[in-house]
Structure 1
Amino acid sequence: MVGKVLSLIPDVVLVNTITFLVVSLGVELVGESIDVGNLFAVHTYSVAYLLACTAVGLLASVAFDSVRRAQTTGAGSVFGLFLLDTFTFDTDYEWVGDVALSRYFDPGSVLVDGDVSWADLSVLVLAIAVLVVVSSEYFERRDLSG
């Protein structure tokens, strides 16, 4: 399980690198400006967010036998958590949205202010570790019992 997640890191980094370069070039081509350091920080930070989303999908893939059900559950969970974060933000029930991964990745704050929250980044890294360990344990137990 750990190997599967580690094998995705180059792909996530490559996609973020290409996106960074395209956005930088696009901004130049339209005659605008952007803080390249902040743009780089957003794409670097997003690696942790995307890997956390991937870890949710990993857990779904070991929990279900059907590929379709695992894909639907993984993507639906990430989207559902995003909606939970959105609907509870700045309400009396904001604490409910704390389980959403999107709560810990604010690209606007990083891009505009250069504000990288190390605490939030730590939560994402911890979520990756916990989800991968839970997935691994579940896979091992399920594999041994089958």
Structure 2
Amino acid sequence: MSDYPGGETLAVVQFQPTGATDSLFQPVKAPTVVAWVFGCAFEPYTRGPVEEQSDTITSHERAWAFLPYVAGFGIPTFDQSGNPLLDSNDDPIPVAIDNSMWIQPQRPNDALAQRNYKVQGLPEIEYDIDGAPSYAWIVCEWQAG
């Protein structure tokens, strides 16, 4: 069974086409929550300016996300009410996270909850001292526009 690294809820977000196009005829995309993961820990570890060009300063914040991982299954997902997501056979549905996705921490009354952090690379599975999978570790980054 999985260790639950923390008590936080993270939304897994994808930017999906809305069906509209912009003035350059590019598809307009909007953030859509594709999965909720409970029992997570989310911790920013660096922040500050990353690029300064003339009068423009771009800020960023890098963070670690620790998500529960069930051996032989993956990262368990839930709906917004906290009920496990099940397929038509009543089997749990794992979430597959890649670097096209974003992580959004859900923290009431916190500015971090308004930010989508871009996943950098693929989740890495961390193991306990006995060699059993324990949790998934993700590095992600938010950049101010």
Higher relative contact order (CA closer than 8 Å, sequence separation 6+) = 1
Q: By percentage of residues, which structure has more strand?
A: 2
- TM normalised by structure 2 equals 0.22
Structure with greater helix share of residues: 1
